[in-house]
C-alpha cells in the first residue's frame, strides 16, 4: 500500500512538473521577445512599454494570496484549471489589440494565469511531498526554468520565419497542453477539506521574513534583468553576447535547484537562505565594477547560483511554517510579497541610475539583498528542514 501511494504521488508530481514547464513556456513566449516589439508597433513609448511589461506582475500582487486561500478551501485542482483556461485564452486576445492600453489590459488578464498557478501548484507539490519538500520543489522549479529558458529561443525563431501572430498561437498551444495535463489531477486533493480554522494567523513573523527574503532576491533579479543588458552595451559588449549573460544564469539555476533542495532538506532551511542572499548580494555589487564580458558572465552565473541556493529553501520553509490547512494561503502570501519586490526592483534601480550611475543602481539592489538577509537572520532563529514538518 505504501508503495502504491508513493508511486501515485510520483506520477502526479511528474504531471505537475510537465504542466509547470508548459505553463511557464506559454507565459514567457508571449512576453519575450515579442511583447516590446508589439507594444512599439502600436505606438507605445519607452515608459509605456515598461508599464505594459509590469502589468502582469500587478495582477500577481492583487490575486496570489486569494488564489492560495481558495485552494486551501476548495482544493488545488479547480484553481489550476482556472489558470489553465487563462493560459489558453489570453494569447488569442493579443491578436485583437490595436492600442497600448488594450495591450496592457491583456497583460493584466494574462497575469492572472501565473498569479494563480504559481502558489497553487507549489502548494500541490508540497501536498505530495510530506518529506523532502525542498528536493521536490527543486525539480518542479527546474521544469519551470526549462520552459522559461526555451521560450525566448522559440519565440525568436518564430519571429524570424513568420508573422508575430505565430508566437501567440504557440503560446496558446502550450497553454492547451498545460490545461490538458491539469485535467486528470485528482479532486478533491490534498488541499481540499483542510482549510484553516477561523482566526489562524498565517502571516507569522517567520513566514513574512522568509517571503521578504524571496522578494529581495526578485528585487535584485528584476533590476539586473532590466539594466544589465544596458550596462553591458555601455562597456562595449556585443549585442549577441548579452543573451548569454542570462542564458548561463538560467542554466545554473535549472541544473542546481534539485540538488540544492535536497541539501536544504538534509541541512536545514535557514543557512542556505542566508548564504544565497549574501552570495547574490556580492555578485550584484561587483557587476558595475567590471568592464570585461567574461567577468560579467561569471558574476551572472554566481548571482544565479545564489538565487538557486536560497530559493531551494524558501518555498519549502514557508510550506513547513504554515499552520495546518494553510499552505496555499501561506505560499500565496509569499508570492504576493515576491511580486512586490520584482515590480519594485527595476523602478528603484532605474531611479538610482538616473540620478547617479549604474554603480548606484546595482549597489542599491545589493543593499536590499543584504537588508533582507539581516531581517531574515534576526527573525528566523531555527533551521527547520531535515525532511520534517515544523
- The 3-state DSSP class for residue 307 equals helix
Distance between CA atoms of residues 71 and 328, nearest Å: 6
Instruction: Tell me what pLDDT residue 200 has.
Output: 55
Q: In this predicted structure, what is the pLDDT of residue 189?
A: 45
What torsion do the CA atoms of 341, 345, 351, 355 make, to the nearest 10 degrees?
120
Residues 6 or more apart from 153 whose CB is under 8 A from it? none
79: nearest Cα among 88, 71, 89: 71
Q: pLDDT class for 6, splitting at 50, 70, 90?
A: low
Of the chain, the percentage scoring pLDDT greater than 70 comes to: 92
- List every span in the chain annotated with CATH 1.20.1250.20: 2-182, 205-379
Does the domain at 205-379 match CATH 1.10.3720.10? Answer given as no
- Integer CA distances (angstroms), 152 to 132, 158, 187, 240, in order: 32, 10, 34, 14
pLDDT at 220: 94
Range of weakest confidence among 41-55, 111-125, 200-214, 244-258 = 41-55
Under DSSP, is residue 7 helix (H, G, I), strand (E, B) or coil?
helix
Calculate the CA dihedral of residues 201, 206, 212, 213 and round it to 10 degrees. -150
Residue 282: closest CA among 220, 324, 330: 220
Nearest-angstrom CA–CA distance, 203 and 168 = 38
Asked if residues 170 and 30 have their Cβ atoms less than 8 Å apart, the reply is: no
Band of residue 383 on the pLDDT scale cut at 50, 70, 90 = low
pLDDT range class, residue 198, cuts 50, 70, 90: very low
Pick from 329, 358, 361, 322: nearest CA to 345 = 361
Of residues 261 and 190, more confidence is placed in 261
CA distance linking residue 85 with residue 110, whole number of Å: 10
Alpha-carbon distance 368 to 376, whole Å? 12
C-alpha cell, 82 = 482556472
Cα(173)–Cα(176) distance, integer angstroms: 5
pTM of the model: 0.81
**Helices 239-267 + 133-161 axis angle, to 10:** 160
Q: Nearest Cα to 333, choosing from 224, 222, 200, 221? A: 200
- pLDDT category at 162 given cuts 50, 70, 90 is confident
Express each pLDDT in 327-382 by its tens digit. Answer: 899 999 999 999 899 888 888 888 898 888 889 999 999 999 999 999 999 999 87
Helix boundaries (H) for 42-75 = 46-74
Rg (the chain; Cα; Å): 20
pLDDT confidence bin for 193, thresholds 50/70/90: very low
383 DSSP assignment = -
Burial of residue 7 (number of CB atoms within 10 Å: 0-12, 13-18, 19+): exposed
What is residue 131's DSSP assignment?
S
Residue 359 half-sphere exposure, CB side, CA atoms within 13 Å?
4
| Kind plus residue range of the DSSP H or E element containing 261 | helix 239-267
54-87, pLDDT tens digit by residue? 788 888 888 999 999 999 999 999 999 999 999 9
Average pLDDT score over the chain: 87
Distance CA(195)–CA(72), nearest Å, equals: 5
Q: Is the pLDDT of residue 224 over 50?
A: yes
Q: Give Cα separations from 206 to 203, 330, 354, 376, 383 (angstroms).
A: 8, 11, 35, 8, 11
33 prior amide bond cis, ω within 30: yes
Residues 185, 67: Cα–Cα separation, whole Å: 18
CATH superfamily membership of 2-182: MFS general substrate transporter like domains (1.20.1250.20)
The arithmetic mean of pLDDT across residues 32-49, rounded, is: 81
Q: Regarding predicted confidence, which is higher, 43 or 9?
A: 43
pLDDT given at position 192: 43
Amino acid at each position: 500500500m505504501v508503495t502504491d501511494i508513493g508511486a501515485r504521488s510520483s506520477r502526479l508530481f511528474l504531471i505537475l512538473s510537465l504542466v509547470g514547464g508548459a505553463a511557464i513556456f506559454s507565459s514567457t513566449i508571449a512576453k519575450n521577445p515579442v511583447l516590446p516589439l508589439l507594444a512599439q508597433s502600436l505606438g507605445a513609448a519607452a515608459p509605456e512599454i515598461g508599464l505594459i511589461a509590469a502589468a502582469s506582475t500587478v495582477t500577481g500582487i492583487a490575486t496570489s494570496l486569494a488564489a492560495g486561500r481558495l485552494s486551501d478551501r476548495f482544493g488545488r485542482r479547480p484553481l489550476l484549471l482556472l489558470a489553465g483556461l487563462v493560459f489558453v485564452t489570453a494569447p488569442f486576445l493579443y491578436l485583437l489589440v490595436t492600442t497600448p492600453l488594450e495591450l496592457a489590459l491583456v497583460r493584466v488578464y494574462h497575469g492572472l494565469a501565473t498569479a494563480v498557478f504559481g502558489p497553487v501548484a507549489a502548494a500541490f507539490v508540497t501536498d505530495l511531498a510530506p518529506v523532502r519538500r525542498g528536493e521536490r520543489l527543486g525539480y518542479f522549479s527546474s521544469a519551470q526554468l526549462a520552459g522559461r529558458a526555451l521560450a525566448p529561443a522559440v519565440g525568436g525563431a518564430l519571429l524570424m520565419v513568420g508573422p508575430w501572430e505565430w508566437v501567440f498561437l504557440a503560446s496558446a498551444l502550450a497553454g492547451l497542453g498545460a490545461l490538458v495535463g491539469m485535467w486528470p489531477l485528482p479532486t478533491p486533493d490534498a488541499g481540499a477539506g483542510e482549510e484553516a480554522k477561523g482566526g489562524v494567523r498565517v502571516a507569522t513573523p517567520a513566514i513574512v521574513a522568509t517571503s521578504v527574503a524571496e522578494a529581495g532576491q526578485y528585487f535584485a533579479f528584476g533590476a539586473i534583468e532590466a539594466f544589465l543588458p544596458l550596462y553591458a552595451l555601455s562597456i562595449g559588449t556585443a549585442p549577441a553576447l548579452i543573451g548569454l549573460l542570462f542564458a548561463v544564469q538560467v542554466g545554473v539555476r535549472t541544473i542546481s535547484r534539485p540538488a540544492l533542495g535536497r541539501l536544504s532538506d538534509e541541512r536545514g532551511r535557514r543557512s542556505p537562505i542566508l548564504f544565497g542572499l549574501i552570495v547574490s548580494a556580492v555578485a550584484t555589487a561587483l557587476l558595475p565594477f567590471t568592464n570585461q564580458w567574461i567577468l560579467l558572465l561569471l558574476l551572472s552565473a554566481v548571482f544565479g547560483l545564489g538565487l538557486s541556493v536560497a530559493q531551494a529553501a524558501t518555498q519549502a520553509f514557508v510550506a513547513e511554517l504554515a499552520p495546518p490547512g494553510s499552505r496555499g494561503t501561506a505560499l500565496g502570501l509569499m508570492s504576493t510579497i515576491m511580486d512586490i519586490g520584482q515590480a519594485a526592483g527595476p523602478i528603484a534601480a532605474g531611479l538610482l541610475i538616473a540620478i547617479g550611475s549604474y554603480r548606484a543602481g546595482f549597489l542599491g539592489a545589493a543593499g536590499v539583498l543584504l537588508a533582507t538577509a539581516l531581517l531574515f537572520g534576526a527573525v528566523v532563529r531555527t533551521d527547520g528542514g531535515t525532511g520534517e514538518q515544523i
